[in-house]
Copies of this chain bind each other. A is one copy, B any other.
Amino acid sequence: MDFSPALHRLSRLAPMDHAAVSALTESMGRSQHYRPRRDLVVEGRDIPSPQLILSGWAARVRILLDGRRQFLNFLLPGDVVGHYHHHSPVAPTSVITLTEVTTCVPPDWGTSPSLDEAYAVAHALDEAYLLAQIARLGRMNAMERIGDLMLELQERLAMSGLTQGASYDLPITQETLADALGLTAVHVNRMLQAARRAGDLLWSSRSMTIPDPKALSRKVGRAQVRVSSG
C-alpha cells in the first residue's frame, strides 16, 4: 500500500525535516484499516486519539432527528481527524468512512517543529474549507455548489498528488454528494447532466474531469483558498 499522498500533502504544507519524516513513516507502519460506512469517530463519545488519513475518503457528518443527513466536510488523504490540540475531550461530530480507509495515529505535537507547522496549517485549511462550505450552502444555487465543490476537491487532491492532470478519482455516490451539498440526489443527478452538456464537468466511472478549471471558477464566482504558511 502506498501512503505517500499523506506524506506528500504534509510536506507541501510545511517542508518536513528528517525527524518528521522518520516519525511519520514509523507511524504509518502501524496503520489501521476500515471498511466503507464504518464510524471512525462517534459524536459525543470520547475521542480515542487523532487519526491521519492515509488512503480513502471519510466525512464528518451530522444527522438530524428525522434522519436528514448533512456532511460537514470531506476528509481526504493527508487530513487529520480529531486533533483537538488541547481540550474538549468530546467529539463534536461523527466521522464515517465513505470508502475503504487506512489511517494511522500521527506523531504527537512537539515531535518536530516542521511537523507542528504542518499540523497548524492543516488546521487552518480545515477551517477555511468549513467557511467555504457555509458560503456554498447559504448563497449558491445547485449548479454553483457542485462546481465549487468539485474545484475545491481538485485543489485539495492536487496537494497530495492525487490528481491526474485535469482529472481525479471521485469515489462517492451522487447520494453522498447530495448530502454534502444540501440537495437531493435526484437534483444532483440532473445538474450533473447539465454540467456535462455545458462541458463544465465530465464524471464517469469514478473519474471526475474539469476541462477548464479557470472558466468554471469564474462561472461559479469562486474565491481561492490560500495555502500560505509561515
A residues at B contact (CB < 8 Å): 44, 60, 62, 64-66, 68-70, 72, 84-90, 92-93, 116-117, 120-121, 124, 127-128, 130-131, 133-135, 137-140, 181-182, 221, 223, 225-226, 228-230
Inter-chain CA distance A65–B68, complex, in Å, is: 31
CB A58 to nearest CB in B, in angstroms, measures 15
Listed by A's residue number, 30 A-B pairs whose Cβ atoms lie within 8 Å are: A60-B131, A62-B134, A62-B135, A64-B140, A65-B221, A66-B221, A68-B139, A70-B134, A70-B135, A72-B134, A84-B124, A86-B117, A86-B120, A87-B120, A87-B121, A87-B229, A87-B230, A88-B124, A88-B228, A89-B230, A90-B226, A92-B127, A92-B128, A92-B226, A130-B134, A133-B134, A134-B137, A137-B137, A137-B138, A139-B182
Given the interface contacts A64-B221, A221-B65, does A137 sit within 8 Å of B182 by beta carbon?
A: yes
A139, B87: Cβ atoms under 8 Å? no
Q: With A87-B229, A90-B228 in contact, do A138 and B221 touch (Cβ < 8 Å)?
A: no
Nearest CB in chain B: distance from A90 CB, A: 6
Q: How far is the CA of A57 from the CA of B24 in the complex (A)?
A: 44
Also in contact, A138 and B182, with CB within 8 A (given A62-B131, A93-B131):
yes
CA A116 to CA B89, docked complex, whole Å: 16
Q: Please, how many angstroms separate the alpha-carbon atoms of A159 and B220 in the complex?
A: 39
Cα of A124 to Cα of B83 in the assembled complex, Å: 11
Interchain CB contact under 8 A, B64 and A135: yes
Chain B residue at minimal CB-CB distance from A84: B124
